[in-house]
Amino acid sequence: MVSVKLLLSLGASLALASPISPPPNSLLLTRDVAQFNASHPNITIFATGGTIAGSAGSSDQTTGYQAGALGVDILIKAVPQLWNVSNPTGVQFANVGSSEITPAILLNLTRLVQQELDKPECQGVVVTHGTDTLEETAFFLDVTLRTEKPVVVVGAMRPATAISADGPINLLEAVTVAASPAARGRGVMVVLNDRIASAYYTTKTQANAPDTFKSYEQGFLGYLLNIKPIFYFSPALPVGKPYFNVTETAAELLPQVDILYGYQGLDPKLAAAAVAGGARGLVCTGMGAGSWTAPGQQALARLITEHGTAVVFSRRTMDGYVGSRQVGYGAGFLNPQKARYTLMLALSAGYGDEQMRTLFES
């Protein structure tokens, strides 16, 4: 366990030298050339903040802490075992709670991660992230990166200053997975609590407990035993997973897509208000397998006809499939937050009706 005193004292600058070329000047870089081992894979850690970098006033405080308080240099220095499995390079991309992550930030992160993965000297990438929206970032990266190299998104449910903080071991496991040749060709992965999961399907299922990131229907890709990854299956990708090339996409070209929540007696005017506020697309968090009230569907049909609004129906249940619809598109197995990014990317790419239907419902 890493003590509060140690974590708060590890902010000293580290040597900035390594075989990996530096990122743009706006980013802070952490390397330790003295510990470089030519036989170890080079793993780049993009830090964005979150609970894994959180700090609280006492070691028994696990709520009400400050997210994104510690830098990536502190996180790396607190886990010296990282150098047993890799040559880690830390890039301080951001340091915020994950609720502050925006589509524009994700576009920039995707480009930087892709640039790093394209370097022959980089064997894998880890992204540290707050857990509140970790699944959204992981999903976005999964459908916008093109690589066989491992990409792992990791976070923590307890701040770094807490008793039994899960961040250090999660980070070590994430880097170990990213450094493993067996992790290649599996798309973006999420690693927390000894589990390895597909970013495409994984979601946060519990607001507080460490054992929270799961994909109930699709299951886990693997497990970590003594910090050694054990994969259950040969490398494979989710069936029908799309790819969107965003290397030339400007932030303003990602259209606004809002999410509406379904409930008894829902207000149909909320859909029109969202479109009036600039939404080009709507994701409806439907009841059951995506059901919506009759007045609500009539309002959505008018928006589709009069404004060309793209409408996707997902579900408010933990899991399940939403199939084809008479009004709009069914989201398939995608939950609302993942359907939202899929719709944003599809609208940005100029998808027409048939492409949308194939994308969501095939």
Distance (Å, whole) CA 327 – CA 304? 8
Q: How many CB atoms lie within 10 A of CB 332?
A: 20
Q: Does the pLDDT of residue 12 top 60, yes or no? A: no
Q: Pick the catalytic residue from 51, 161, 203, 342.
A: 51
Distance (Å, whole) CA 15 – CA 3? 24
Report pLDDT for 6: 41
Span(s) in the chain for CATH 3.40.50.1170: 4-231
Q: Does the pLDDT of residue 23 top 80, yes or no? A: no
Q: Report the amino acid identity of residue 183.
A: A
Q: Is residue 132 annotated as involved in ligand binding? A: yes
User: Which tokens hold the place of 229?
Assistant: 């990854």
Report pLDDT for 348: 96
Q: Which string of DSSP letters, residue by residue, matches 269-323?
A: HHHHHHHHTT-SEEEEEEBTTTB--HHHHHHHHHHHHHH--EEEEEESSSS--B-
Q: How far is CA 353 from the centre of its chain?
A: 28
Report pLDDT for 15: 28
Q: What is the pLDDT of residues 135-165, one digit of tens each?
A: 999 999 999 999 999 999 999 999 988 988 9
Asked if 131 is an active-site residue, the reply is yes
Report pLDDT for 308: 97
Distance (Å, whole) CA 46 – CA 153? 9
Q: Pick the catalytic residue from 131, 144, 285, 309.
A: 131
Confidence of residue 287 (pLDDT cuts 50, 70, 90): very high
Confidence of residue 341 (pLDDT cuts 50, 70, 90): very high
- Distant-in-sequence contacts of 247-255, Cβ < 8 A, 24+ apart: 247/111, 247/114, 249/107, 249/348, 251/103, 251/104, 251/107, 253/348, 254/103, 254/104, 254/107, 254/344, 254/345, 254/348, 255/279, 255/280, 255/281, 255/344, 255/347, 255/348
Determine contact, residues 215/197, Cβ cutoff 8 Å.
Answer: yes
Strand order in the sheet with 151-154: 28-30, 87-96, 42-49, 124-128, 151-154, 188-192, 195-198, 222-225, 228-231
pLDDT mean over 209-217: 95
Q: Does the pLDDT of residue 208 top 60, yes or no? A: yes
Report pLDDT for 26: 52
Report pLDDT for 7: 44
Looking at CATH, the fold of the domain delimited by 4-231 is given as Rossmann fold (3.40.50)
Report pLDDT for 44: 98
Phi/psi of residue 360, each to 5°? -90, -35
Report pLDDT for 30: 80
Phi/psi of residue 229, each to 5°? -70, 135
**Strand, coil or helix: 254:** coil
Report pLDDT for 32: 83
pLDDT mean over 28-32: 80
Q: Report the amino acid identity of residue 165.
A: A
pTM tops 0.75, yes or no: yes
Span(s) in the chain for CATH 3.40.50.40: 255-361
Looking at every residue in the chain, the average pLDDT score rounds to: 91
CATH code: domain 255-361 is 3.40.50.40
